[in-house]
Amino acid sequence: MKNKKRLLLLLLVLSFSLSAQEGKSIKKEIDLLVAPLVETNNYSGSIMVSRNDSILFQNSYGEMSREYNLKNQPDTKFFLASVSMIFTSAAILKLYEEGKLDLNDTLDKHLPWYKEASKITIHQMLSQRSGIPAIGRENNVDYDSITKFTHDTKALMDYFKEYDLLFNPGSKYNHGRSEYILLAHLIEKLSNKSFGTYLRDEIFEPLGMENSGHFNSEKEIIQNLAKGYAPKDIYDVESAYQIDWSSKTGHASIYSTVSDLQKFAKAILDKKLLSANSWKQILTDHGNNVGYGWFIRDHLNKKRYQMNGRSPGFSSYLAIYPEEGLIVVVLSNNYISLPSNIGMSIAAIIFNEPYQSLNLSRDKLEGYLSKSLVGNYQFDADFYVPNHKLEIKEKEGRLFCEWGPFIPVHDGTSKTLKYIIRTFWSTIEFVENEKGNIVTMMFDEHKGVKID
């Protein structure tokens, strides 16, 4: 009996020891992944990873204020950009559970004044298949200009209330964002509360998300809020242009922390706040891998719910691997679309899968190589900008295009044919033919044919 007890104790000690070693290994590998991105001014922010009830990793990098040399901390708040949409959809489903709306309601039942209300259902708005154009689509207003000023939902709706629909509701997906402004207004009408107050009372406070909120106006004081920065040239940064985040109410106005987002994601896994049926509705692919404010995209052959965002000065990524109980949160106060890449690499580390660790270079191109790469590349209708002709230019040994500079990536070969477009963190690879001439470029998974 004593021997059995000793053996059990030995096994427990060994288990704890192996778990601790695994934790140290994960931390070391994630830090090695992130460190070169911080050193090259491409990432600053906070990261949190949990699995079931255990926190596997949490760390912060870089500065929340470069002007005052203030470091990012675990409780630093970041604007979430489009990740904000996950709270709007949850609020609508909460009102649905309260019997205040039906997902198949046409909008005219609640907002009869809206021009196209009889044609659009709440379901189509939540799944971004309404056909409502983005603000500024009909050139009645400059969108960048209006983001400088405080807006409520009614003022925002006035910009697009007379627009024609882009397509028949339900027939296509379009990330126009205007439907989420309408949904925020609907939340206010049905709850008799402001959008921010409803989220606070019904979502943030019940889940203990003490560091999350909706930005009401530029007069508001938000403690521990990071300042946003933007890339400048190839490895520098500058202050991002300032906006009033109330102009993005419903789709990009929320600030939060990594730990608060982890609490929200854990509520989804535990089927809290909403019923299991409501969470299922939110996290169902309703077309184009889009749920209600989420993307439903497998990763590493595992089911994944994820949302990412990018707005001036900030970028964000939240992923849930429901069958493994894994949650990955990556927030940044740099206007570079890196958090998604970091988050997916972290998941690969956790699942012991291969991932790409980039060897970024500061080297300038030799003249003969840069001359062979510059020119115009024609993309097809499936490109991010359909049928776009992208011109690659060179200046002082650096490549760039209309969307920003290219960072060289060394892969051990003699020629530098791989790059990163810094702003979007998209991968670029130039492809040679058998004669050594550049004939195409791969922009992520899209092929551009060199035409001159």
The Cβ of residue 221 has, within 10 Å, a number of other Cβ atoms equal to 5
- Look up the CATH number of the domain holding residue 187: 3.40.710.10
Q: HSE-up of 321 (CA within 13 Å, CB side)? A: 22
- Predicted pLDDT at 5: 62
To the nearest whole percent, how much of the chain has pLDDT over 70? 95
Q: What is the mean pLDDT of residues 407-428?
A: 89
| Statement to judge: residues 414 and 344 lie in one domain | no
- Find the length of the chain: 452
CA distance 263 to 60: 18
Does position 242 have pLDDT exceeding 80, yes or no?
yes
- Do 345 and 432 belong together in one domain? no
Give 111-173 as a DSSP string.
Answer: -TTSTTGGG-BHHHHHTT-S-PPPTTTTSSS-HHHHTTS---HHHHHHHHTTPPPSS-TTS--
Report how many domains make up the chain: 2
Q: Which of 276, 309, 314 is nearest to 88 (CA)?
A: 309
Whether residue 181 lies inside any domain: the answer is: yes
Question: Do 389 and 346 sit in the same domain of this protein?
Answer: no
Helix crossing, 2-39 with 339-350: angle to 10°? 160
6 has pLDDT over 90: no
Determine, yes or no, domain membership for 58: no
Q: Give the 3-state DSSP-derived string for 54-94, with helices as H, strands as E and coil as C.
A: EEEEEEEECEEECCCCEECCCCCEEECHHHHHHHHHHHHHH
Overall pTM > 0.85? yes
User: Same structural domain for residues 308 and 415?
Assistant: no
Domain that holds residue 406: 367-450
Strands of 254-256's sheet in order across: 78-79, 254-256, 213-214
pLDDT 10s digits, 10-42: 544 444 444 444 567 899 999 999 999 999 999
Is the per-residue pLDDT at 126 higher than 80? yes
Give the chain's mean pLDDT. Answer: 93
Which of 44-48, 123-127, 134-138, 253-257 is the least confident region?
134-138
CA distance 276 to 84: 21
- Please name every residue paired with 399 in a beta bridge, in sequence order, or none if there are none: 394
Q: Are 376 and 438 in contact (CB under 8 A)?
A: no
Confidence band of 365 (pLDDT split at 50, 70, 90) = confident
How far is it between the farthest Cα atoms of the chain? 83
Q: Is the pLDDT of residue 128 over 90?
A: yes
Q: Look at strands 438-443 and 426-432 and give their pairing.
A: antiparallel
Same domain as 215, residue 105: yes
Considering the domain architecture, whether residues 312 and 409 belong to the same structural domain is answered as: no
Residue 146 tokens, joined: 């209006």
Mean pLDDT of 175-180: 95
Mean pLDDT of 363-383: 90
Q: For residues 345 and 317, is the Cβ–Cβ distance under 8 A?
A: no
pLDDT at residue 396 above 80? yes
Mean pLDDT confidence for 189-216: 98
Q: What is the pLDDT of residue 20?
A: 46
Per-residue pLDDT at 182: 98
Indicate if 248 and 379 belong to the same structural domain.
no
In angstroms, the CA 329 to CA 151 distance is 29
Predicted local distance difference test score (pLDDT) of residue 15? 44
Q: What is the enclosing helix (H) or strand (E) of 393?
A: strand 389-395
Q: Do 184 and 332 share a domain, yes or no? A: yes
Show which of 317, 350, 383 is a domain's final residue: 350
Asked if residue 103 lies in contact with residue 123, where contact means CB atoms within 8 angstroms, the answer is yes
Query: What pLDDT, on a 0 to 100 scale, did the predictor assign at position 18?
Result: 40
- End-to-end, the C-alpha distance of the chain in Å comes to 82
Q: What's the rounded mean pLDDT across residues 344-349?
A: 98
**Bridging pattern class, strands 398-401 and 305-311:** unpaired
* pLDDT at 51 (0 to 100): 98
CA dihedral 307, 309, 315, 318 (to 10 degrees): -10
For 176, other C-beta atoms within 10 Å of its C-beta total 20
pLDDT digit string, tens, across residues 244-293: 999 999 999 999 999 999 999 999 999 999 999 999 999 999 999 999 99
Using a 10 angstrom Cβ sphere, with 0-12 exposed, 13-18 middle and 19 or more buried, the burial of residue 236 is: exposed
Distance from C-alpha of 204 to C-alpha of 220, rounded to nearest angstrom = 18
- Model confidence at 156, pLDDT cuts 50, 70, 90, reads very high
pLDDT at 16: 46
356 within some domain: no
9, pLDDT greater than 70: no
Tens digit of each residue's pLDDT (9 = 90 or more) over 77-89: 999 999 999 999 9
Instruction: Write down the pLDDT at residue 194.
Output: 98
Q: Are residues 89 and 154 in the same domain?
A: yes
Task: Report whether 187 contacts 89 (CB < 8 A).
Answer: no
Please, which pLDDT band fits residue 410 given cuts at 50, 70 and 90?
Answer: confident
Output the six-digit token pair for 257.
């922390």
Distances (CA, A) of 157 to 119, 141, 161, 168, 312: 17, 12, 6, 20, 22
The CATH number covering residue 404 comes to 2.40.128
Average pLDDT over residues 297-301: 98
